Structure 1
Amino acid sequence: MFHSSYIEISKSALQNNIAFIKQLIGQQVQFSSVIKGNAYGHGIEQFTSIAQESGVDHFSVFSADEAQRVLQTVSAPTTIMIMGYIDNQELEWAVAHGIEFYVFEMSRLEEAAGVAKRIGKRTRIHLELETGMNRTGFEGETLARAEAALEKHKDFLELKGLCTHFAGAESIQNHDRVMAQQEKFQQLTQRLQRKGHIPVQRHTACSAAMVAYPHTHMDMVRIGIMQYGFWPSPETYGQYMAQQQDKTDPLRRLINWKSRVMSLKTVQHGEYIGYGTSYQAPRKMTLAIVPVGYSWGYSRSLSNVGNVLIKGMRASVVGIVNMNVMMVDVTDIPGVAKDEEVVLLGRQGNESITVASFGELSTQLNYELLTRLPVNIPRIIVA
């Protein structure tokens, strides 16, 4: 394998997480697996295949290129929903292939109707409502225009869903804002229904809302971070665990990011290590050179503060993280040899490097760190 690192994705961990999520939402609520951002860094193709094997039949993506990757991967009937970007040229492809997509502006709504009429295939749209996120969605005068267009093009547009997105359900400080959003969503939904625009599905809940606001489950939930084994925030985790007698985390992380020792180096007391003078050897040291740097997603801000696992023990990053390599201190880890396994993220023996601890040191969110893992790092499915 001609790569300096690789990522293992655990199928059994995913199966565990999906079972837990479905237990929370019940049998009547559709589970949509959110796989934008290269499946939160896990790899769309690899994740989609094991998710489908685990019973998932609905995937949410951000853009048409992600939808195409899912479509090329799935082996059974599957619903694919684009929540964000799709240009007018891609709409015909989406309609022809039965891809569902959000509509949040009139140009897309009119173009979707035109494409459906031209190719003779009714298209399934999800009308996004602006409830307070102030990003995308219909409200006020634009919603009135959308209602008129839905009526005008009813033979070509199927209102598959009404949806919105919460502005921070993972934090209690946003509670009033989230509640106001849900109330506005209900009001706008009722307005549309009174005019005969009745959706097949109503959906607003992300991972955090699924846990913190059960009344938002409605017909479907869009679950991203939790299916990968991570809680949206410490608050969300605390809120759930406070209600449980068993304090064991029910989620399991799918990801293990690994590399190997490229070389070993002895450095004398007082010598500087790597670029500049950020680290001076306090004693005679043995360094392991690891062929991963910031170009591979290992943040430069982890210089002199990060850790990896070697032989089940923690080894500190010393010196500046380079573009393609970093140095770690293995002076107190006996028997380290060239090609020794290095865990950058995940578990080895009884120790683990968590994304949370990784993120705290690099000032990155879980989401940011995971999605920044380069696409060309091989993802390998393991049990």
Structure 2
Amino acid sequence: LGYANKTQLESLVRYDLSPVLTNPGLIPLLEKEAAKQKKRVKITLKCETGTHRQGLLLEEIPEYTTLLKKTSFLTLEGLSTHFANIEDTSDHSYARKQITLFKEFLHRFEKAGLPPQRNHIACSAATILFPDTHYQMVRTGISSYGYWSSKETYLSFRAHTSKELNLEPVLTWKTRIGQIKDVGPDAYIGYGCTYRTNQPTRLAILPVGYYDGFDRKLSNSGHVLIHGKRAPVRGRVCMNMIIVDITHIPGCRLNDEVILLGRSGDERLTADDMASLAGTINYEVLSRINPLIPRRIVP
């Protein structure tokens, strides 16, 4: 769905990938590479309907259709676009304007003799709220992880239907206690001495930090779960360590499991919780978890 440049064309063709194009200059270059490898390539064109980020304009359609009709190895598979604010508001008039404009794109390509067959515009919010945006494909991203796109999306859904839709987060992010330490009152914790204890305190040091995706904005405000109880972050989040208070959690031992996101007993921490504390959105919380952290798929 992102930007494709000319240095990637050889790999795009070799691995039978279908690029989304936003630059007419790439069409003859991709045709040349496809002819060289003697392989057909399906492409999608991104349409500008109101986000003003990527995509061709209505008035540029003749340029694209002229270029495509000159090719022998490229097939226009479909059109796509992105909504600008469908998940940020309960007023969907702007999204409706984008839908109308996208239909005009479809009509003009069909009229030009290049009918798109596999079109997609629906993000998670559109998939849930507007069935008429489904076309041949939908792009359910965050809802596939069990999260609502936003509070506004949830409220819009509840306001317009009596149907039930229960989204449950599928991700659990874990670490383990790396060290346990007892300190007295008036002990400064972590970089910057931003937290001072007011009583004898037991601390757990966890081998996870902002390098791993645990936001530094959670310093002195975030929590983790240990033995079904919340343990508050004390001091600043370090690059690859955090310090949490376990004074109120008996029986903690070295190597005990710690939940950063997920359930433990009756408690739960979500990406929404983290996002609220960090002043961001759940998308960022989930996408910033370091890809080097091992993943385990649980059936």
Q: Kindly report the root-mean-square deviation, in angstroms, between the aligned alpha carbons of the 2 structures.
A: 1.6
C-alpha deviation, 1:119, in angstroms: 2.4
Alignment deviations for residues 249-282 of structure 1 (CA, whole Å, 9 cap, x no partner): 5222221111111111111122222223321112
Equivalent in the alignment of 2:196:
280
Give the aligned partner of residue 269 of structure 2.
Answer: 353
Confirm or deny that 1:260 pairs with 2:176.
yes
Instruction: Give the superposition deviation at 1:173.
Output: 5.6
Contact 1:167 1:174 in 2 (8 A): no
User: Are 1:197 and 2:114 matched, yes or no?
Assistant: yes
1:310 aligns with 2:229: no
One-letter code aligned to 2:76:
L
SS at structure 2 position matched to 1:205: coil
Q: Do residues 324 (structure 1) and 240 (structure 2) align?
A: yes
1:358-377 → structure 2 map (5 Å cutoff): 358-377=274-293
Who is 1:236 aligned against?
153
Shift of 1:330: 0.8
Distance in 2 separating the partners of 1:366 and 1:184: 29
Mapped partners of 2:7, 2:235: distance in 1: 49
**Distance in 2, Cα, partners of 1:88 & 1:176:** 38
The 5 Å alignment of 1:38-57 reads none
| Unaligned residue ranges in structure 1 (runs of 5+) | 1-82
| CA shift for structure 1 position 231 | 0.8
Q: 1:108-123, aligned counterparts within 5 Å?
A: 108-123=26-41
4+ runs of 1 displaced by more than 6 Å?
none
Q: Distance in 2 between matches of 1:303 and 1:260?
A: 19
Deviations 1:1-20 (A, max 9, x none): xxxxxxxxxxxxxxxxxxxx
TM-score, with length taken from structure 2 = 0.94
Contact persistence 2:275–2:282 (CA under 8 A): yes
CA distance in 1, matches of 2:207, 2:7: 41
* Structure-to-structure mapping, 1:104-253, within 5 angstroms: 104-153=22-71, 155-172=72-89, 175-242=92-159, 243-244=161-162, 246=164, 250-253=166-169
Q: Does 1:299 align with 2:215?
A: yes
Query: Structure 1 pair 361/235, CA: closer, same or farther in 2 (3 Å)?
Result: same
1:238 maps to a residue whose letter is L
What letter corresponds to residue 268 of structure 1 in structure 2?
G
Distance 1:349-1:94 versus aligned 2 partners, 3 A rule? same
CA contact (8 A) 1:133 1:167 kept: yes
Q: Distance in 1 between matches of 2:242 and 2:11?
A: 44
| 1:141 Cα deviation from its structure 2 partner | 4.2
Q: How does 1:64-79 map to 2 (within 5 A)?
A: none
1:245: how far off?
5.8
Q: What TM-score, normalized to structure 1?
A: 0.74
How big is the shift at 1:348? 1.1
| Deviation for aligned residue 1:161 | 0.6
Paired residues of 1:161 and 1:200 also in contact (CA < 8 A): yes
Whose RCO is larger (CA < 8 A, sep 6+)? 1
State the match for 1:89 in structure 2.
7
- SS of the residue corresponding to residue 378 of structure 1 reads coil
For residue 73 of structure 1, what is the aligned residue in structure 2? none
Higher strand share: 1
Structure with bigger gyration radius: 2
The offset of 1:336, in angstroms, is 1.0
Q: Give the conservation status (yes or no) of the 8 Å contact 1:106–1:146.
A: yes
Alignment partners' CA distance in 2, 1:265 and 1:374: 27
Look up the equivalent residue of 2:46 and give its one-letter code: E
Deviation by residue 1:128-182 (Cα, 9 ceiling, x = unmatched): 11111111111144322101112222x3221111111111211236622211111
- Aligned equivalents of 2:91 and 2:46: distance in 1? 21
Instruction: Sort the Cα spacing of 1:89 and 1:278 in 2 relative to 1 into closer, same or farther, 3 A.
Output: closer
- Letter matched to residue 56 of structure 2: F
Please give the alpha-carbon distance, in whole angstroms, between the structure 2 residues aligned to 1:142 and 1:351.
Answer: 54
Could you tell me which residue of structure 2 aligns to residue 22 of structure 1?
A: none
C-alpha contact 2:90 2:153 (8 A) present in aligned 1: no
**1:99 matched to 2:17:** yes
User: 3-state SS of the aligned residue for 2:139?
Assistant: strand
Cα separation, 2, equivalents of 1:126 and 1:184: 17
Q: Which secondary structure state, in structure 1, belongs to the residue aligned with residue 296 of structure 2?
A: strand
Distance in structure 1 (CA, Å) of the matches to 2:251 and 2:232? 17
Q: Secondary structure at the match of 2:138?
A: strand
Any stretches of 5+ residues in structure 2 without a counterpart? none
Task: Give the secondary-structure state (helix, strand or coil) at the position aligned to 1:318.
Answer: coil
